[in-house]
């Protein structure tokens, strides 16, 4: 016949558990949250039995001595026992969990004196002010390649309805439907077809673009995978596309350069035919009448490597101009992918408006 076990309440015997709440101090400041983990069962000799006797102490509560708030502390205790023989109960292990039950949140503006000690920020509100609006929620993509919930997808591998073709050379000044090649999940420049331009216009943007240059190499310098990505339209603010893997050209004309203005900080190019990425943050310029008061700025990551950090464009890039200068333009413009007679491929293009 097995002995009858009586419940064992350790909070009645242990000093840390039978102290008065005021002695325990504010539970939120104890930071003694011990993880309660079941210990492995103890080994027993043949013919003996074992059992586990979980015990939870009652709630201990009382005044914290901090004014209006009550603090509550609770201990969860698990005792692990075994029967060593008739009438003998041996404690072989225990685990304790201490956690706090804090009072309900109160409106922090009920304590204005606490906030008045912080400085006033440029928006007119004090630091840590409860009146400052919270940002809206955006759900990120499953990976950094995938568009977040507020993105505008310009090309998903199939749909080309966001684009039209702007003629060049003999077709200059004319527009056409999409005239590039649509492949399996990508679109490819058709030489002499013209530039690809979005119907929609944008100002400041966060842009993700993936591109690949041809594997067949029959030229060098600017003749290898030449294209460009231009926010706000033709002749403005080009981030250059080129096969710059072991390919010499002028520094401000290689891949990821701000074309004709600044080279990238480093050359992060992959081999011809491999997919590459640009992640671009473009901030539009501001004009006051005919004068630029804030130039366009850009931050660029090439294949995950920072190559431009908040770099200011010097102005429009136009062939034949004796100097680079800003020309006032609209606050929004289309995104353009340049056709430069070489079959560069693009895929997975999306952006977010930043204004």
pLDDT at 62: 40
In a domain, 114, yes or no: no
In a domain, 260, yes or no: yes
Greater model confidence, 83 or 176: 176
Residue 69's domain comprises 10-101
Statement to judge: residues 186 and 306 lie in one domain: yes
Statement to judge: residues 44 and 191 lie in one domain: no
In a domain, 5, yes or no: no
Statement to judge: residues 32 and 166 lie in one domain: no
Statement to judge: residues 177 and 36 lie in one domain: no
Task: Identify the band that residue 130 occupies on the pLDDT scale cut at 50, 70 and 90.
Answer: confident
| Single residue among 101, 133, 164 that ends a domain in this structure | 101
| Mean pLDDT computed over every residue of the chain | 79
HSE at residue 81, side-chain half, CA atoms within 13 A, is 20
Average pLDDT estimate for 6-26 = 42
pLDDT, tens digit, for every residue of 203-262? 999 999 999 999 999 999 999 999 999 999 877 899 999 999 999 999 999 999 999 999
pLDDT at 21: 42
Average pLDDT estimate for 322-328 = 84
| Single residue among 101, 116, 137 that ends a domain in this structure | 101
Structurally, how many domains does the chain consist of? 2
In a domain, 200, yes or no: yes
Statement to judge: residues 317 and 198 lie in one domain: yes
Return the CATH number at 335: 2.60.120.560
Statement to judge: residues 319 and 234 lie in one domain: yes
Statement to judge: residues 216 and 294 lie in one domain: yes
pLDDT, tens digit, for every residue of 30-72? 333 434 444 444 444 444 444 443 444 443 334 333 333 333 4
Average pLDDT estimate for 150-179 = 95
pLDDT, tens digit, for every residue of 255-304? 999 999 999 999 999 999 999 999 999 999 999 988 999 999 999 999 99
| Single residue among 81, 101, 121 that ends a domain in this structure | 101
pLDDT, tens digit, for every residue of 88-121? 444 445 444 444 455 555 655 556 677 788 899 9
pLDDT at 141: 97
Q: Residue 190: pLDDT above 80? A: yes
pTM greater than 0.75: no
pLDDT at 235: 73
In a domain, 82, yes or no: yes
pLDDT at 117: 87
pLDDT at 105: 56
In a domain, 334, yes or no: yes
Q: Residue 161: pLDDT above 50? A: yes
pLDDT at 104: 57
In a domain, 125, yes or no: no
Residue % of the chain over a pLDDT of 90: 59
pLDDT at 108: 54
In a domain, 111, yes or no: no
Average pLDDT estimate for 307-332 = 87
Return the closest-CA partner of residue 100 out of 32, 174, 17. Answer: 32
């Amino acid at each position: 016949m097995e002995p009858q076990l009586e419940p064992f309440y350790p909070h009645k015997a242990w000093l840390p558990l039978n102290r008065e709440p005021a002695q325990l101090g504010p539970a939120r400041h104890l930071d003694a949250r011990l993880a309660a983990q079941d210990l492995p069962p103890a080994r027993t000799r043949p013919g003996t039995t074992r059992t586990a006797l979980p015990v939870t102490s009652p709630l201990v509560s009382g005044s914290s001595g901090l004014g209006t708030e009550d603090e509550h502390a609770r201990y969860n205790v698990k005792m692990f026992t075994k029967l060593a023989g008739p009438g003998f109960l041996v404690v072989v292990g225990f685990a304790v969990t201490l956690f706090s039950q804090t009072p309900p949140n109160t409106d922090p503006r009920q304590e204005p004196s606490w906030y008045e000690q912080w400085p006033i920020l440029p928006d007119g509100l004090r630091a840590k002010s409860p009146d400052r609006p919270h940002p809206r929620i955006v759900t990120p993509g499953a990976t950094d390649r995938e568009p977040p919930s507020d993105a505008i997808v310009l090309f998903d591998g199939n749909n080309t309805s966001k684009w039209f073709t702007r003629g060049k050379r003999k077709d200059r000044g004319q527009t056409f439907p999409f005239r590039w090649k649509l492949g399996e999940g990508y679109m490819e420049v058709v030489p002499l077809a013209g530039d690809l331009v979005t119907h929609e216009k944008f100002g400041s943007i966060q842009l993700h673009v993936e591109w690949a240059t041809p594997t067949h190499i029959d030229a060098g310098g600017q003749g290898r995978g030449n294209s460009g990505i231009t926010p706000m339209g033709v002749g403005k603010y080009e981030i250059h596309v080129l096969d710059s893997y072991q390919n010499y050209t002028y520094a401000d004309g290689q891949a990821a350069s701000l074309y004709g203005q600044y080279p990238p900080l480093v050359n992060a190019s992959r081999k011809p035919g491999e997919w590459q990425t640009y992640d671009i943050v473009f901030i539009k310029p501001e004009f006051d009448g005919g004068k630029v008061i804030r130039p366009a700025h850009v931050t660029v990551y090439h294949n995950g490597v920072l190559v431009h950090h908040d770099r200011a464009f010097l102005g429009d890039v136009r062939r034949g101009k004796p100097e680079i200068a800003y020309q006032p333009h609209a606050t929004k413009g289309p995104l353009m992918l340049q056709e430069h007679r070489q079959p560069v491929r693009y895929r997975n293009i999306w952006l977010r408006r930043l204004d």
